[in-house]
Structure 1
Amino acid sequence: MRTVLWDLDGTILDSEGLAKDGTRHGFLEILGRAPTADEFARLVGRPVRLVYRAWFGDELGQQVLDAGSKHYDAHVEEIVSYEGVHTVLQELKRLGYRQGIVSSKRREKIVRELVLNGMEALFDTVVGQQDTDMHKPYPDPLLLAVTRLGVTARDCVYIGDQPSDMEAARAAGMQSIAALWGEGDMARLRAVNPACCARKPDDVLDFLLGDSTMTASKGAL
């Protein structure tokens, strides 16, 4: 297993708080109300543009998205990576692993945030929202990354913080690692049977380098 694919928000970058602030701002400015807890939950890990289109229609959905995006963009430089993640990415690069990003965020935004955090050179491919018609939990974006890298799914592992990440990995025929150091919830992620539940980024290295205690059957470290 020499290829590691990563989710971005809530896994590499601590961006979910700002994303929620942007969502709230867009709702308040255009709809005159805050999002409900259910609406927040249904947006996690999904392409916001497409969800808004389904909820509000093309024109109103775009207005809500634009207002929220403006707020997010004004504060994007405040986003940082989770402690320890950058070091793990660098170590995997040093060990010869190929790495990619597979996210429901638009590609240009992914690249901008990687550049701001000095991480762009660590990844061999970036798959964003516009690159596939179907999104997680469907396997399409993961399979596109596999194709671009010229590897097979069985040689990859996907790391993410949401059940949809684990489901997409399973559908693509690859193992998954549940990231618990950010937004990931142990109970929800264990329910979809990842190969490993990692409490901290260093646990990813333990799993990849063969520490058998990291298997999901024995729980998270």
Structure 2
Amino acid sequence: MKAVLFDLDGTLIDTAADFIRIIQHMCREEGREVVAADLIRTQVSEGARAMVKLVYPELDVDDPIFLAHRQRFLDSYGADIAVDTDLFSGMYSLLEALEAQEIPWGIVTNKPRWLSEALLQALNLTARCAVLVCPEDVTKTKPDPEPMYLAAKQIHLAAEDCIYVGDHPRDIDAGRAAGMYTILAAYGYLPLQYKDDLTAWQADCIVNTVPELQQQLEALLFAKASV
């Protein structure tokens, strides 16, 4: 293994608090029952549509009114993208360890590029990230392997030389389809409908904390790098 690629929300960066803040504010503005933080957290990896649907369950996702609410949500998030957001605990030291061994790390996400770039800039990660692949860069997003192949190509590696870490079945499906070694980040935003049987995701490895992730990466990467 020669590189590590991460999903963004719920794997590399803990963004849930900002989403919770915005969704709950939308509930209060509309005079609706405030959605529980834990429920919002499980929908983060499903994207903006799923989170906004928690506020307006009666609206069809293609309804112009729903789409307007979704855009309002995205605009609010983009304006204050990292108020309560940071890397997961332990992730800074993990990235520093990778960089010390000159092992590139990057991101493959279904988050729109304008939001992904703003988030990386807010956390001073832009220059450190070797590759960022977003939906705008491909014709098919995860769970299709196309983004995985593109990320590997951009860092001049074969896909099978890369590790992919994610917290959603589509992450694992995309990584496996591309021939990557896959790690399920069970500390992330596991969707409710998939969290009861993590072995069914068929990841090569499951980690419950960032320190566990670092230990696994060291076994896969650092031993060879130190020879």
Give the RMSD, CA atoms, in angstroms. 3.3
- Say if 2:216 is the partner of 1:207: yes
Distance 1:24 1:138 in 2: 33
Equivalent position of 1:15 in the other structure: 15
CA 1:68/1:7 → structure 2, altered by over 3 Å: closer, same or farther?
A: same
Distance 2:104 2:156 in 1: 11
SS class of match (2:132): strand
TM-score (normalizing by structure 2):
0.76
CA 1:43/1:140 → structure 2, altered by over 3 Å: closer, same or farther?
A: farther
Distance 1:141 1:97 in 2: 20
Q: Is the 8 A contact 1:47 1:129 kept in 2?
A: no
- Equivalent residues, number: 210
Match of 1:141 among 142, 147, 166: 147
Cα deviation, 1:44-63, whole Å, max 9, x if unaligned, reads 434546998xx433744431
CA 1:28/1:180 → structure 2, altered by over 3 Å: closer, same or farther?
A: same
Q: Is the 8 A contact 1:14 1:79 kept in 2?
A: yes
Report percent identity of matched pairs.
Answer: 26
- Say if 2:207 is the partner of 1:198: yes
Bigger RCO of structures 1 and 2 (CA < 8 A, at least 6 apart): 2
Structure 1 spans left out of the alignment, 5+ residues? 212-221
SS class of match (2:67): helix
CA 1:29/1:6 → structure 2, altered by over 3 Å: closer, same or farther?
A: same
Equivalent position of 2:134 in the other structure: 128
Match of 2:179 among 173, 176, 192: 173
SS class of match (1:122): coil
Structure 2 spans left out of the alignment, 5+ residues? 53-59, 221-227
Q: Which deviates further from its counterpart, 154-163 or 173-182?
A: 173-182
Q: Is the 8 A contact 1:29 1:67 kept in 2?
A: no
Equivalent position of 1:6 in the other structure: 6
